[in-house]
Amino acid sequence: MNKGGKVMKLGLCTGTYSDLPLDEVCRLAVLYGYETLEIETFERDNLHLDIHTIFDGDNIRKFKKKIQDYGLEISTLGNHPESQLVMGPFGQDTDDIYHGTKEEKIKFGTEAVIRAAQAANEMEIPVVVGFTGCENFGRVCQWPDARAWEREEEIFAQRWGKILDKYDEYGVKFAHEPHPNQMVYDIETAQRSVELLGQHKAWGFNFDPANMMMYGIDVEAFIDLLGDRIYGVHAKDAQIVKQNAGRSGLNPHGNYRRIDRGFRFRIPGWGNVNWQDVITELSMVGYFGPLTFEHEDITMSRQDGMKKTAEFLKPLLIDAPFEGRSDLNFRF
Amino acid sequence: MNKGGKVMKLGLCTGTYSDLPLDEVCRLAVLYGYETLEIETFERDNLHLDIHTIFDGDNIRKFKKKIQDYGLEISTLGNHPESQLVMGPFGQDTDDIYHGTKEEKIKFGTEAVIRAAQAANEMEIPVVVGFTGCENFGRVCQWPDARAWEREEEIFAQRWGKILDKYDEYGVKFAHEPHPNQMVYDIETAQRSVELLGQHKAWGFNFDPANMMMYGIDVEAFIDLLGDRIYGVHAKDAQIVKQNAGRSGLNPHGNYRRIDRGFRFRIPGWGNVNWQDVITELSMVGYFGPLTFEHEDITMSRQDGMKKTAEFLKPLLIDAPFEGRSDLNFRF
Amino acid sequence: MNKGGKVMKLGLCTGTYSDLPLDEVCRLAVLYGYETLEIETFERDNLHLDIHTIFDGDNIRKFKKKIQDYGLEISTLGNHPESQLVMGPFGQDTDDIYHGTKEEKIKFGTEAVIRAAQAANEMEIPVVVGFTGCENFGRVCQWPDARAWEREEEIFAQRWGKILDKYDEYGVKFAHEPHPNQMVYDIETAQRSVELLGQHKAWGFNFDPANMMMYGIDVEAFIDLLGDRIYGVHAKDAQIVKQNAGRSGLNPHGNYRRIDRGFRFRIPGWGNVNWQDVITELSMVGYFGPLTFEHEDITMSRQDGMKKTAEFLKPLLIDAPFEGRSDLNFRF
Amino acid sequence: MNKGGKVMKLGLCTGTYSDLPLDEVCRLAVLYGYETLEIETFERDNLHLDIHTIFDGDNIRKFKKKIQDYGLEISTLGNHPESQLVMGPFGQDTDDIYHGTKEEKIKFGTEAVIRAAQAANEMEIPVVVGFTGCENFGRVCQWPDARAWEREEEIFAQRWGKILDKYDEYGVKFAHEPHPNQMVYDIETAQRSVELLGQHKAWGFNFDPANMMMYGIDVEAFIDLLGDRIYGVHAKDAQIVKQNAGRSGLNPHGNYRRIDRGFRFRIPGWGNVNWQDVITELSMVGYFGPLTFEHEDITMSRQDGMKKTAEFLKPLLIDAPFEGRSDLNFRF
Amino acid sequence: MNKGGKVMKLGLCTGTYSDLPLDEVCRLAVLYGYETLEIETFERDNLHLDIHTIFDGDNIRKFKKKIQDYGLEISTLGNHPESQLVMGPFGQDTDDIYHGTKEEKIKFGTEAVIRAAQAANEMEIPVVVGFTGCENFGRVCQWPDARAWEREEEIFAQRWGKILDKYDEYGVKFAHEPHPNQMVYDIETAQRSVELLGQHKAWGFNFDPANMMMYGIDVEAFIDLLGDRIYGVHAKDAQIVKQNAGRSGLNPHGNYRRIDRGFRFRIPGWGNVNWQDVITELSMVGYFGPLTFEHEDITMSRQDGMKKTAEFLKPLLIDAPFEGRSDLNFRF
Amino acid sequence: MNKGGKVMKLGLCTGTYSDLPLDEVCRLAVLYGYETLEIETFERDNLHLDIHTIFDGDNIRKFKKKIQDYGLEISTLGNHPESQLVMGPFGQDTDDIYHGTKEEKIKFGTEAVIRAAQAANEMEIPVVVGFTGCENFGRVCQWPDARAWEREEEIFAQRWGKILDKYDEYGVKFAHEPHPNQMVYDIETAQRSVELLGQHKAWGFNFDPANMMMYGIDVEAFIDLLGDRIYGVHAKDAQIVKQNAGRSGLNPHGNYRRIDRGFRFRIPGWGNVNWQDVITELSMVGYFGPLTFEHEDITMSRQDGMKKTAEFLKPLLIDAPFEGRSDLNFRF
């Protein structure tokens, strides 16, 4: 009955399994029923893709073929760490990503983000996922400087505006993932960013509900309000740990693995995200693309996560939009 | 990817099916995917194990072999009814378990609990599950005698201290199941019991979340706070029946089968226990043992319960703890 | 272990798929595991059953055989549109169903409802599902006329009393489906209707929890209080769309397909109905009949709905009532 | 410190005490601290104002003087019953208000609403409060006619558009009070009405939170979204009676005085309206006018209501908007 | 406007201040606006009333006069401790109240309760407040003896039936206060007791919402369902201490003064009782008698409690029932 | 009855009214019933106290006398802006407080905080209230640098350790106010700070519940867990604006005055803080000092805030701890 091609798919962030050869990751993906991959393009310790040699010869064709031979598809490229450097923070906090002065980091980050667009263009991948960065995230608070965030917004518009122009040239979109320590971390800042960037066509979002849970955001409202700018979806969940939340709050500091945190990233289905509601609204705004799983769940092994997520999420993916009824009982 | 042996298992209380021969119970267990059994050791109407003849000849070896031949394993012995007699109540309330004076009941209960340890020792089973008993549970209330509970605590420490010394000799642990009409029924009394018993090594708990729901206990907090003393887990659920709870409260009197009770024991997945949260915390404290199903659900047949529980619970069991990630995106 | 025949079944409203030939609907029903059908008897655009020719020759026998050949069973006949005309509204609002004066509509509706009973009788189907109708549903509000609803109740008792007498003659029951724009739309009006109709044996309800969600009704209480009058169950869900509900309320006007409604009909498992609680109470009141799926979900295709509903609901159906335990641990 | 004149005031609907002479009502108002009055202008049984003689001689001057002599002020005129007739319902449901055919009722209602504007103009009162009416409120539901509400909207725009033109001529605004059985009963219909009436300057709302509670409306959102059209406020509360609401729902039929209704109108402070939040948002949108108390609370006497409301509400009225701070700690 | 005499009053349990002479208590009562007193009749350490000499000479007349001279009124006599002995518990738990065997305690308690009725009769006080007692409150739980509570019910009916016959002779009612360690502790047991005692006219309840909060009872439902048997009301509140309740549950053991209990008795307005809802329902069932304050709040001094309670509660007392409206806007 | 001196008091932050002469502030304080003052010691635009001349001559004596002549008392000195500089942020964000390099700011802040202690010592005021500062508050998040917060903790321990040693010398305590952009902003960081500072005697907290609400902290748990380190209390409330919170989250950026923020600071009684619970726990941990009001409420004038806060808060202050009861009914 349901003909036509719009279907939601189950995707996988390969970066999670960066200690395994890409072939092994593909085999696991196929085993558990994943259909699309997100590939990281950052330089350091990246066994899956070498951004510097990928453009050589027919490396790109070979890379794509390897994935296709597993019956898989690359949905997106990702580069969260290096895109962070466009806006910071600088200093020691990002030295692991790239060691340099503030200016060197901005330059490195900017080039890396643009290089990802180039790769996406050559690989015919429509979207690069990443972060905007943010020099001092404490500025969302009006104390001690009520104007500080506003000043950061101006810099953001300038730096990212230029990058996005390059994206336009490559015919690729940049999907920022709202998250703490970014200029865009909730619905209002997402709406604000669209405005600041003059409705730039290349600008959009990678919707990851877990990242917004720690600010109490209504993630379904994000979809309804920004649906036409959602270019990607991360299937990650977040658990408000009720027995801890009153003490550590929703924004706890310190190691993800300690037992007494009030907030934990989880695999889909094990946190407070209502995936049926999320998938419903994605369907209502016409998003029929991949939901890409990323394992940041410190309560279970990564392979268990891959298996449990597929078992949980795949039956929920909506096959096709409502085609209407016209019988006497219900005409819509 | 996940090597090593720590896995959660699905277990079954065989006592629930005491009207069936043990072989039939084992066949059903295998059919639905159960992996471990809890065997009752009480005397009366016990078709599955005869505590008085089990020590004869090579009965123990034969008994274990029968179970093993089904591919099953005995995880625990249980004796809730007779262990109740150690602390009471006495009089007519426990005459069905054993008819006698208070002193005779204490003696009988004490011996039965110790005999279970002996059996466990000979069968190489690490844990006996049971109850502490409690002479008058109304003493948790400060009226009419604010000191009465304290006095009962002293007797508890004395009587159970001696029993646990015997357990130590047998190398077996006693896992009390927090429940109404017991000296330990919530988190605070569990913590208090550890203190009263001088941190006795043989003392611990059989975690059954359903039993604590009727006091509004945060069962995940129980796991976090007493995780190192959890020697067993019962997979039983409890439903706060919202349309009735305002009238009967959470502690209703009378027959479990009447429709208007505000509190019902249920099979896992059909009550208010959040099993994902429970399993998450068990993983966080390192509990990787059996979750043993017990059917006290008056809304569906016992075989339906056995089937539905396995279908619900098995996909939730966590295969292995998080082994960490070390890529640039997430290093924990 | 569970012998005897009481089982819940999964049913299908065929009207939802009225653009497909009945054979195709049957094939899909079988494919996804549905076991019973509800067949519509209204005249207009009804491809599945022609109420005017069904009584001719051995059409009835042939019709039933066709269904049986698919291994399916007809559980109920339905006629929501025409039964509406018994009480209204009249005028243009119901001209699509039947064009005529108020009196002509009442006559037509009354005859159609009785004809459905005749068909049910000849087809040996115990129940006809439909609506009571209601001339002006605004009368539930005491403004501007505090007596208006009461006056409508008298007319209801008179008109439907006569129809139900006919049902009695045919040995068939009428199951009204509580819904807005009906004389019975919640628990209190259901109880009131039983009283108004003098406890008429032929009078009962088709329990559809979704329809009552928009009034904040406790649907499990409906089952507990009216369980002996529940002759049918519709498996339909309703979503309180939290991000919209504060603005459109639970009773929004206008097209079902707009994204900003606070209330949407959904397939089972995708709304706010707690199906485990519903099925539990159905079991407690002894309802072991079909749960008949109806797709009014504007977020996904009808075939996806059929598939997802079967996958969700079938594992929840309770096989048989609790047969009791008699071991020392639990005697109920 | 706070100079300038913007203050919220406590007002009284005199219609509630129509069995007392207006002088007695004024005395009570003064006794309890009320500052403004809303006077009804309908014809039938109206002891306080005779709409047919008020225009004679210097009756208007005398009427105003009488009120002023008590230190009171007329804030608004009201005419809920007769304005209802503009859109209906017709027939017996409104015969108590005016007996006539549909056409006669429309004519009578229309003239009465316009006459109220004339009176307001001559008395220099800026606002008339009333209802839009609605022929069949069941049309908010899409069954049985999905287009019916839309058709009613067209008639509404036409009839009320003409009335509002007259209001413009008189320099008076009409404040519709969202309520069941009206074309505007929630946020969405309020927004829709503004659009349907082409942003008519004379069109606005009398905000009565209680009336919207029965649809689950977020009344603070009403203020935020429609603040510039709020020309009046009724201080009336509504109680969701929790022990009943699951059975009667939020929209129960029948007499307001029965004990088992799930929804009751109450005096401010005794229901579910959060008056601090309401007053806060009124302050945020710059509404500094009267909050006019109306007693429809069937649990206590009208005089007790008048006293308790004043005691509750007066200390909550906000004296003046925030004038800012400029010290180093907080500069806003 | 409100004529006639039904008014709610503010009462005081004098027993709370038993370390002060009765005159001092009366002075404080008058100071803070209390209007009625509940006087304890138990023997031990009772400085306010000597049950053994009260019947001598004109002691009763003198006692009443002393109270009246303060402008106060005795609303009820109370005897919680000695009435407890009618059903137990026995043994050391009640030795503080009266030292003796079980039989001696029953006899003593029975006589004390009857003597209170005699005193009430002679003092023209309509109600004696107290407890039923309960031998082992753990019997509300079905384990270990599912029949134990039922057996206790039979003894209850017998013993209290006889006492109530005496009450009938004295023309006095006994108002049991639902509470833990009593045969009646919630709505269901209250309804059951009425049935067990054959609708005995002398049997009713002293409604103390705090005592039922620890079982999750809907206290407003108690009033609605048992309103005609409410002969007294205790104004006592209970706080579910949210930061503790998950660990100690709602039924914590041990000293009321420890900081980590999840349940504390409080003065009215400082706990989870919704006094407006309670007073509303009392008004709806026609209870217009005293609300008698009892201080068991371990967070503030007894005098502060007396003052704060009067300030909080007195403005909430409803002066008179709704006398109706008959204007065109609202006719009920 | 309540003798002895422990009483809670109502205090006022004078900084809020820095545009008024101190005498005028004192007059208003007295008018509304405030009893204690918190005086700011920062340099810039400080009309109330000049930190550089206060030590001259008998200025301190005169300053104190002026306050005492109004019947007021100085409870605390405050210096939030300058203490911020000890840890940052630096750069433009704090140039309004003091213009300089990072090192210059640290030096200036450190000296200012110590100077406040000196002033407190000379004025015999036991506590200085302020902030710790924090260089980049985004470090509470583990991305992009999971170790960054830990590094900041070390610097914190070092810098503040030295300052606190000085405080010890002056016999004054420093009460940090948990707040965003500080090293201590919730319960866990408060506990951590005590540990990092080696249980320094001079280290404690100024409990301001509003500041912690934006992280979802259980503020009553803060009191229970850190009660012995609470040296001051700010009476400030926070409103989670429900109609906005889902879109802006609890940590919105931008101007406090925009209507669509999901989080607003409010005066006590107008937000989500439960002041009865807060005051109860303060009583339980033995805090009987001032609750000092600070107006950061953008919905009403500062004078209205001063008036409403006093009216709301003063009746809630607990006069004295529970002195116990010893009658037969309640012995604690």
pLDDT at E3 over 50: no
Q: Which stretches of chain F score pLDDT less than 70?
A: 1-5
Enumerate residues 6+ apart whose C-beta is below 8 A from A31: none
pLDDT at E4 over 60: no
Residue A194, min C-alpha distance to chain D (Å) = 23
CATH value at residue F310: 3.20.20.150
Between positions 187 and 226 of B, the ones with CB within 8 A of E are 187-189, 212, 215-218, 221, 225
pLDDT at A324 over 70: yes
Residue C5 confidence (pLDDT): 58
What is the Cα Rg of chain E in Å?
Answer: 20
Residue A1 confidence (pLDDT): 44
Structural contact between residues B136 and E87, judged by C-beta atoms closer than 8 angstroms: no
Grouping H, G, I as helix, E, B as strand and the rest as coil, residue F272 is coil
**Per the CB < 8 Å rule, is E143 touching B216?**
no
A44 and D CB contact within 8 Å: no
Residue B59, min C-alpha distance to chain E (Å) = 31
Q: Which residues pair with F76 in a beta bridge?
A: F38
**Per the CB < 8 Å rule, is C322 touching B303?**
no
Least CB–CB distance from D331: residue in A146, A331, A332 = A146
| Main-chain dihedrals φ then ψ at residue B243, nearest 5 degrees | -75, -10
pLDDT at A46 over 80: yes
- Residues of B in Cβ contact (< 8 Å) with F331: 146
**Substitution target from B141, B331, B332 for chain F, most F beta carbons within 10 A:** B331
- Residues of F in Cβ contact (< 8 Å) with A141: 137, 180-181, 251
Enumerate residues 6+ apart whose C-beta is below 8 A from F145: A89, A92, A93, A94, A96, F139
Residue C326 confidence (pLDDT): 87
What does the alpha-carbon distance between residue E106 and residue E133 come to, in Å, rounded to a whole number? 10
What are the tokens at C277? 């609680």
Residue D3 confidence (pLDDT): 44
Helix (H) or strand (E) holding A293: strand A290-293
In a domain, E325, yes or no: no
Q: Tell the residue number behind the tokens 């993906």, with chain if given.
A: A29
Residue D7 confidence (pLDDT): 85
Enumerate residues 6+ apart whose C-beta is below 8 A from E95: none
What are the tokens at F317? 């202050």
* pLDDT band per the 50, 70, 90 thresholds, residue B291: very high
Q: Which stretches of chain D score pLDDT less than 70?
A: 1-5
Distances (CA, A) of B293 to B232, B234, D81: 11, 6, 64
Residue F5 confidence (pLDDT): 58
What are the tokens at C92? 């243009």
Choice among A86-95, B131-140, C323-332, E17-26 with the minimum mean pLDDT: C323-332
Proportion of chain E above pLDDT 90, given as a percent? 96
D141 and F CB contact within 8 Å: no
For residue C260, give the chain A residue with the closest CA: A224
Cβ–Cβ pairs < 8 A, chains D and F: 91
pLDDT at E318 over 90: yes
Mean pLDDT on B66-88: 97
Exposure class string for A8-34: b at 16+ Cβ within 10 A, else e:
bbbbbbbbbbbbbebeebbebbeebeb
Residue C158: CB atoms within 10 Å: 10
What are the tokens at B316? 């939730």
Residue A297, min C-alpha distance to chain D (Å) = 36
Helix (H) or strand (E) holding D61: helix D59-69
Mean pLDDT on C221-230: 98
- Residues of D in Cβ contact (< 8 Å) with A146: 331-332
* pLDDT band per the 50, 70, 90 thresholds, residue E7: confident
**Per the CB < 8 Å rule, is B136 touching E138?**
yes
In a domain, B321, yes or no: no
What does the alpha-carbon distance between residue D76 and residue D175 come to, in Å, rounded to a whole number? 10
C110-125 pLDDT, tens digit per residue, is 999 999 999 999 999 9
Enumerate residues 6+ apart whose C-beta is below 8 A from B189: B178, B183, E253
What are the tokens at B8? 């959660």
pLDDT at E274 over 70: yes
- Give the residue from B246, B244, B249 showing the smallest Cα distance to B260: B244
In a domain, D332, yes or no: no
Cβ–Cβ pairs < 8 A, chains C and E: 6
Structural contact between residues F14 and F38, judged by C-beta atoms closer than 8 angstroms: yes
Mean pLDDT on E221-238: 98
What does the alpha-carbon distance between residue C310 and residue E169 come to, in Å, rounded to a whole number? 67
**Phi-psi sector, A269: left (phi>0), alpha (psi -120 to 50), beta:** left
Residue C2 confidence (pLDDT): 42
In a domain, A325, yes or no: no
Least CB–CB distance from C325: residue in B16, B80, B308 = B16
Residue E5 confidence (pLDDT): 58
* pLDDT band per the 50, 70, 90 thresholds, residue C170: very high
Strands A73-79, A127-130: pairing kind: parallel
**Per the CB < 8 Å rule, is B137 touching E142?**
no
F155-193 pLDDT, tens digit per residue, is 999 999 999 999 999 999 999 999 999 999 999 999 999
A188-213 pLDDT, tens digit per residue, is 999 999 999 999 999 999 999 999 99
Residues in chain F: 332
Residue C4 confidence (pLDDT): 46
Q: If you write DSSP's letter for every residue of D179-223 in order, what string do you get?
A: -TTSS--SHHHHHHHHHHTTT-TTEEEEE-HHHHHTTT--HHHHH
- Residues of E in Cβ contact (< 8 Å) with C331: 146
For residue A224, give the chain C residue with the closest CA: C259
pLDDT at E236 over 80: yes
For residue F222, give the chain A residue with the closest CA: A247
Structural contact between residues A143 and A97, judged by C-beta atoms closer than 8 angstroms: no
Structural contact between residues C223 and C209, judged by C-beta atoms closer than 8 angstroms: no
Residue D277, min C-alpha distance to chain A (Å) = 20
Residue E326 confidence (pLDDT): 87
- Residues of B in Cβ contact (< 8 Å) with E253: 139-140, 149, 188-189
What are the tokens at F134? 């924090």
**Per the CB < 8 Å rule, is A94 touching F252?**
no
In a domain, B133, yes or no: yes
Domain count, chain B: 1
Residue C93 confidence (pLDDT): 97
What does the alpha-carbon distance between residue D16 and residue D3 come to, in Å, rounded to a whole number? 35
Residue B326 confidence (pLDDT): 86
D267-280 pLDDT, tens digit per residue, is 999 999 999 999 99
A280 and C CB contact within 8 Å: yes
In a domain, A332, yes or no: no
What does the alpha-carbon distance between residue F77 and residue F63 come to, in Å, rounded to a whole number? 13
Q: Which residues pair with F204 in a beta bridge?
A: F175
What does the alpha-carbon distance between residue F251 and residue F264 come to, in Å, rounded to a whole number? 10
Q: If you write DSSP's letter for every residue of C211-264 in order, what string do you get?
A: HHHTTT--HHHHHHHHGGGEEEEEE-EEEE-HHHHHHH-SS--S-TT-TT-SEE
Least CB–CB distance from D329: residue in F80, F239, F255 = F80
Higher pLDDT, C100 or B332: C100
What does the alpha-carbon distance between residue A243 and residue A226 come to, in Å, rounded to a whole number? 33
Task: Judge if the upstream peptide bond of residue D89 is cis by omega within 30 degrees of 0.
Answer: yes
pLDDT at E251 over 60: yes
In a domain, E267, yes or no: yes
Mean pLDDT on C64-79: 97
pLDDT at B63 over 60: yes
In a domain, C322, yes or no: no
C197-207 pLDDT, tens digit per residue, is 999 999 999 99
DSSP E231: E
pLDDT at B4 over 50: no
Host domain of residue A222: 4-316
Distances (CA, A) of E241 to D315, E275, F323: 29, 18, 21
Helix axes D187-196, D219-226, angle to 10 degrees: 20
Cβ–Cβ pairs < 8 A, chains B and F: 6
pLDDT at E1 over 50: no
**Per the CB < 8 Å rule, is B249 touching E89?**
no
- Give the residue from C141, A221, F241 showing the smallest Cα distance to D215: C141
Chains that touch A (3 or more CB pairs under 8 A): B, C, D, F
Choice among A3-7, A322-326, C268-272, D225-229 with the minimum mean pLDDT: A3-7
F232-251 pLDDT, tens digit per residue, is 999 999 999 999 999 999 99
Mean pLDDT on B177-198: 98
Residue A64, min C-alpha distance to chain F (Å) = 30
